[in-house]
Amino acid sequence: MKNIRYQTLAIDEPAEHLMVVRFNRPEVRNAISTQVGRDMLDLFTRLIADASPYRCVILTGTGEKAFCAGGDLKERNGMTDAEWLAQHHLFERMTLAVIDCPIPVIAAVNGAAFGGGCELALCCDFAYASASARFALTEVTIGIMPGGGGTQTLPRAVGMRRAKEIILSGKPFSAEQALDWGLVNKVCPPEKLMDETLAIARTIGDNAPLSVRQAKRSIHFGLQMDLRTGMFFEIDAYNRLVPTEDRREGVRSFNEKRKPAFRGR
């Protein structure tokens, strides 16, 4: 991905196997325009097709004020119904591409995460947040409703009753509330957010990449099944790791009392 450039995203690779993706429209609080949708869809479609160079992705925003302020309402002003629906279809595909990414995606919420920005954070596998971050699903205040997965991902994170309160009121809430309710995993001082997120990303990246991908897949799909079916799905995912070189290297390194050198095969 090093040679790929996007109009609305800044891509960085701060360490081997690690990618940082930044929404790069700070002048509009990193709002989601049509071009953001195109860029995000292209990037994550590429990762779905071949994520082998990477073991973890961090999604964050440029600047200190906003992770992502949601849909770009200035761009949407005056759209016909057909144009609005066509744009939203693009956003739907973008959202599913983030969810379908085979490697872990961590949100580093550095500021406001409103509307579609909050939904994109929820599409990630988990999230760390700056203490100054604010969250909201404000769609009902402007005559629409969450359409980037919010009515599905938020209840799975915080429970149905809390999700209804958040979505139906449209009221903002703090990073500490997001932590208490289960929307984010950790709240960090603003100046330490990326260091903390990079640290957990590196920890994940040091683990066996095929194991991490299979575990993520098992959790994701297993939660959509009854318990017994989910356990069978888990065993199938587990069995695919038995013949891998990484499985043999993991056991060998343990017995030789050294750090394993995983190769993803």
**Neighbour tally for 63: CB within 10 Å:** 17
Phi, psi of 185 (to 5 degrees): -95, -25
Active-site choice (27, 75, 139, 191): 139
Distance CA 115, CA 11 (A): 23
Residue entry with tokens 């799905």 = 233
Listed residue (21, 10, 224) closest to 104, CA to CA: 21
* Tokens encoding 149: 């997965």
Whole-angstrom Cα distance, residue 71 to residue 116? 6
Task: Return the structure tokens found at 58.
Answer: 């961090």
Choice among 119, 191, 245, 249 that is catalytic: 119
Answer yes or no: 165 catalytic: no
Compute the distance between CA of residue 140 and CA of residue 233 in angstroms, rounded to an integer.
Answer: 38
* Nearest of 53, 64, 54 to residue 29 by alpha carbon: 64
Beta-bridged to residue 55, according to DSSP, are none
User: Is 191 an annotated catalytic residue?
Assistant: no
Closest CA to 140 of 98, 168, 117, 113: 168
Question: What is the number of other CB atoms lying within 10 angstroms of the CB of residue 80?
Answer: 8
Active site residues: 119, 139
